[in-house]
């Protein structure tokens, strides 16, 4: 998988991946808005034929990198693509001055939680009833040591 910055032509593929990955996908307008958001950093992973198979959106605020959303196309999961695209995006954020990263993840999403733990994130809290479609809690995770990311 090759990783590059997302462009407007990628939106259709990103929306398809988002809609098949989440019970509460982002509306198309949200992804389009990210192109004009000066704090957004949008990345895609593409296969050998330049088809988008993964994406991540990070919001940079001062020295913080907030992972807003990430997904990998279902047919390309369990190949390390999530870890690769997160590491690339956070390495770039680090070069821009990020020294801490945050994210929220559904408490039932143990696969994602394990991924984030493997990258050095720590569980730091719970956001009660964060997900409005089913009132599921979100686990708040924080990365304060970018050492693993920068290896």
Catalytic status, residue 74: no
Question: Catalytic residue among 104, 122, 131, 136, which?
Answer: 104
Catalytic status, residue 64: no
Give the number of other Cβ atoms within 10 Å of residue 12's Cβ: 12
Looking at the DSSP bridge assignments, the partners of residue 45 are 3, 54
Q: What is the pLDDT of residue 79?
A: 95
Structural domains of the chain, with CATH: 2-143 (3.40.630.30)
pTM over 0.95, yes/no = no
Question: Catalytic residue among 116, 130, 131, 136, which?
Answer: 116
Q: What is the pLDDT of residues 47-85, one digit of tens each?
A: 999 999 999 999 999 999 999 999 999 999 999 999 999
Q: What is the pLDDT of residues 39-53, one digit of tens each?
A: 999 999 999 999 999
């Amino acid at each position: 998988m090759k990783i590059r910055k997302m462009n407007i032509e990628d939106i259709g593929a990103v929306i398809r991946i988002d809609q098949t990955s989440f019970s509460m996908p982002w509306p198309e307008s949200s992804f389009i808005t990210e192109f004009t958001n000066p704090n957004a950093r949008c990345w895609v992973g593409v296969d050998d034929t330049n088809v988008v198979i993964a994406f991540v959106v990070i919001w940079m605020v001062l020295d913080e990198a907030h992972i807003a959303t990430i997904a990998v196309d279902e047919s390309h999961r369990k190949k390390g693509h999530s870890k690769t695209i997160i590491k690339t995006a956070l390495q770039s954020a680090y070069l821009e001055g990020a020294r801490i990263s945050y994210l929220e993840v559904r408490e039932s999403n143990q696969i994602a939680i394990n991924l984030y733990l493997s990258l050095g994130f720590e569980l730091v809290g719970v956001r009660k009833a964060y997900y409005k479609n089913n009132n599921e809690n979100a686990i708040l995770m924080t990365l304060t040591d970018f050492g693993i990311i920068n290896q």
